[in-house]
Structure 1
């Protein structure tokens, strides 16, 4: 019974929430407009998006090697790439399953303990979180006026005006700080008093793993290359979405800042705990296009078009990687200390 309840809370409920948001977003939507987008889109821009997706995933696979090397493991980039893409492929079936899958794959092919490689994956996720947070901040600064209109459309004009008025109230900031201090204090008290509970112990182990993941970046030998591949990943993420703008005249006229907004809001949608960000991606990207004056029906149709193309890229490269992984034989890993330095 507990396992069934845990499954519902971890997978079924988020999936139902995503489907519910998808249904809500698509209410009264003309699906023929989506169909026409696929028929009229130039195949060249779609293939270019697929290429940028491949480069992004390959860069992620190569960057992973820099995190594994200090742990004493030298892995072929082809193995790393297959592991990463197989993980993405698994994520389309079950959210958060990708991290486990990619680590299990390296354990099978290179005899790297899954719990060891999982720590490096946590490090990756922390880095991605920092990058996405930075991009969110940059987008807010560069597109403050449009972001303000976006918030008003989401919250309603009265709610947004009420929040704006609170920003100028000293007592509101003091109250917010006091509530934050109280909540942190209650959390510390609760953890100390009930740290013997399995749930608390699991949370503490997770926090310890996160902290160790952050510190592990210091052990990377070639930090310049690590930063380069990190920036390359996000540049390719930007381009794989932005080139799709040229598939239709309405989006082709949008500037590079609009691509940044789509990258940020689309990234937040994909990060939602549902398969492929369904529902969340469509809703956020639809509103992003509406910020730039595009009609609501078209905005949702084009958000669906972009999400489908990017999902197909994962299915294509992930499917090929899954098949390739079946033919990769297990080998004994070579110690990074005795191998050529990265």
Structure 2
């Protein structure tokens, strides 16, 4: 393979891994001049790749969509990862069902070398993703647009419908995408609310790219996981109730952190906090997080209220009874 061909493939690989590259940075990565980069870009265009360029000091290049799909350049690990991802996606709740992902998988595996096909089969035999069954369908196009913006740190403008059916325009900085149960969630910084928000992807009607880049805000993986968990817990539960605590809203928010989402002030010194669960035991667990010494009332519904009371009465009798013999 000639140096020119190798360099063009290296350039293509870079263009595929980022949405926009400054010309000077591409030249530095490839160890050539910017004039050589321009010639290699022209070669890629002759091969059918639509490479857009922007002039000026901040100008550069980006690989854009064309009228046909040109060949993709994948490393061995990328090809294996895509094949495994397609197998997993075939079981998920995406628009088009498993047929779309299975046909894409067949095309990819058809051109994989034997050694890579063996890796894919071995991994696929070991991974058993849960089938999520019935649930809201998610557009792969929307997921893809959000994933690219998350990778490139690009602000988005969304048309979003909340749980009450109200539509709004949201300006966001996407930070993470994650599936949870039967739904996909996006964690982002909401520019209008000046705070973190989590949106259900199936409720996003449209995604508009702004081409405005942002500096990623500091957030730990643990906090991302926690916020995704909170978002998933906000789906309708079998048991839903409120607790009204003798705590001002600001104090409650400081103590509960992201778990305070949904809490509202109940007068000057009290806070109403919604909670729930799949059964009375799971809902009771939320009440155990109310800080020690804080009095509260709850709207725990019947008949679960009676079940909770009976269980607590037995627990109190067990605690008041003489301790049984110690363990050996």
TM-score interval for Structure 1 and Structure 2 normalised by the shorter chain: under 0.3
| Structure with more strand by fraction | 2
TM-score, normalised with respect to structure 1:
0.21
Q: Which fold has the larger relative contact order, with Cα–Cα distance below 8 Å and residues 6 or more apart in sequence?
A: 1
TM-score, normalised with respect to structure 2:
0.22
| Structure with more helix by fraction | 1
